[in-house]
Structure 1
């Protein structure tokens, strides 16, 4: 297995962000999902290793308020699209000009908004994301804010129980996470036309959490769809995710 290297960069407002890197070769930036981390989303279940083995330098930041990155409690450090600002700073800090970009769930939202804000990766990968998921963030965010506000009291069978359990497992800083949720914007369907590069929508067969991935692929100017096993929580645990990404990026 390739060694995982760790470094830190300064994001917006001087927030210290951990960046995990595996492999050598063509740069591939991968952003994890909400309440997760680079370790859990990409490294733990072997998908980063698959991509590194395919000839990529896989660069995986922990988003602010996640993983080994700082989780400030100052609301001023969570302006609109702060994750996009962090992403732009990472691209600039690493001096990336010719690279690929991908994400899962919140990481997919951030990747799309990064492209709309001027980033120009050669290819884009959107994991666990559908068309309505990009536009319907307010509803999705409200679900997670509710889980944070009722944390510790949510019983099994409640729709927020899985989110509570994952926050417990990941030891999420709920104050910082709540602030971060308020910084993420919707991306309306008409904006999708501004994503010109070849884009893979890869999604679990049982994952409808963010709407239809095939519909998103159809709406994109150069969209492609790949189905992998699992639901929104489990699809990243299957190596089919990494294999589908590698096949698309190498084509």
Structure 2
């Protein structure tokens, strides 16, 4: 199935990439930290699996990621900038009835946007995220700042070595990435009770990177919980993730 890539200017003029696949009901998908739409949704077939059920899958590359711009001006990194980018995307596309999903950072961003009433999707998918990933961001950000600051000096065997290699493979602009890490505030878990739309929390059965996904599901009224095989990085490489999302969404009407 073909993917069409286009660009739009976000709220501050930063040029962001959108990748679109399929036709039908709109589903906006957001990728993980230092990844991309290509890596999380396209490469391993998840977007195609979902599109085959009658959806147009719209995949944003966050700023500093994928084919989007990575400005090095600190003024381009206000608090919750990624949430503002998602709101700008929805406004740009003129969507009113659509679904929203994300993995890891994309899930975190989706939860912020929905809990604060910035966007209003009809359904929500939260992948690879637990309660710790929402409430302990400073610890996670400090880890990645170390990866950026010590980059080529990180030795093999260091837990941060794999993260460094991943950033290198994705061609991440480290100046822009460091600025982005300071834009993400914690989300008060109590706000999750305000999310009343149908929600799926899906996570790898070996994924503990962001704490308990099952506990997160219990914080969202009526949320469904599903496990798929894999670790945090591994679950996105297996077809089960896309299949679980497609099965939960069902055939588009």
Q: What interval of TM-score do these two structures reach, taking the shorter chain for normalisation? A: over 0.9
How big is each residue's C-alpha offset from its partner over 1:22-46, in whole Å with a ceiling of 9 and x where there is no partner?
0000100000000100000100000
1:132 equivalent in structure 2: 132
Q: Is 1:214 the counterpart of 2:201 in the alignment?
A: no
- Counterparts of 2:222 and 2:148, CA distance in 1: 37
List 4+ stretches of structure 1 deviating above 4 A.
none
1:51 equivalent in structure 2: 50
- In the TM superposition, 1:58-207 aligns within 5 A as 58-118=57-117, 119-207=119-207
Alpha-carbon contact 1:108-1:125 (below 8 Å) kept: yes
2:33 equivalent in structure 1: 34
The structural deviation recorded for 1:229 is: 0.9
Q: Is 1:227 the counterpart of 2:203 in the alignment?
A: no
How big is each residue's C-alpha offset from its partner over 1:174-201, in whole Å with a ceiling of 9 and x where there is no partner?
0111111110111121111121111111
- Counterparts of 1:65 and 1:133, CA distance in 2: 20
- Counterparts of 2:192 and 2:156, CA distance in 1: 37
The structural deviation recorded for 1:130 is: 0.5
SS across alignment from 1:48: helix
Give the total of aligned pairs: 250
The structural deviation recorded for 1:159 is: 2.0
Alpha-carbon contact 1:24-1:57 (below 8 Å) kept: yes
Structure 2's unaligned 5+ residue stretches are none
Query: Which range moves more in the overlay, 92-101 or 111-120?
Result: 111-120
- Counterparts of 2:175 and 2:131, CA distance in 1: 29
SS across alignment from 1:12: coil
Alpha-carbon contact 1:6-1:21 (below 8 Å) kept: yes
What TM-score results when the alignment is normalised by the length of structure 1?
A: 0.98
SS across alignment from 2:207: coil
